[in-house]
Structure 1
């Protein structure tokens, strides 16, 4: 069995994205074991998330735990809810132009 790949998009994220399908019991390199099947492209909790706590992807809040979510659990609409919260729109203020190709 090969190790499934997963990606943490920002150090503050509490989910990882499954690059490959993650079978129940499998663990991406350096990650927690999946408690259930996580489909390719979906989110898996990298740490436990308390009910009502924000779910972070890309370093941004994408939803809130509608119930406690255990590390390794698939994060989707059955345990993630959307609600109003204060937003900080200053995240792009420090951007700068990069000269990639002269």
Structure 2
């Protein structure tokens, strides 16, 4: 089984892609490290290696959690399997 993304804890809202070339429509397998279990769903957008993807729906204004840490807020609705980056997540610092 190929692991496509990793998640620190099931309370996180995103995972990090660990393979090259994820394409929209591809079946993805993720490993939730703290619980040592896998999750599966379809990619809804192309996602580069090292970038984040939503592992559950995130509403505009929601806090985004990665590795148990608040990394910002969603500026638009993001569906499970979609790419997260500077186009839809912003820091809360400014």
Q: Do both proteins adopt the same fold according to a TM-score greater than 0.5, normalized to the shorter chain?
A: yes
Match of residue 15 from structure 2: 16
The CA deviation string for residues 25-46 of structure 1, in whole angstroms up to 9 with x for no partner, is: 1122232211110000100000
Matches within 5 A, 1:75-86: 75-84=84-93
Runs of 4+ off more than 2 Å? none
8 A Cα contact 1:48 1:68, kept in partner: yes
Does 2:35 correspond to 1:35? no
Residues in 2 aligned to 1:11 and 1:5: alpha-carbon distance in whole angstroms: 16
TM-score (norm 1): 0.74
Higher relative contact order (CA 8 A, sep 6+): 2
Higher strand share goes to which structure? 2
Match of 1:58 among 64, 67, 71: 67
Across the two proteins, how many residue pairs are aligned to each other? 83
What stretches of structure 1 of length at least 5 have no aligned partner?
Answer: 85-102
Residues in 2 aligned to 1:76 and 1:27: alpha-carbon distance in whole angstroms: 21
TM-score (norm 2): 0.80
CA RMSD, Structure 1 to Structure 2 (Å): 1.6
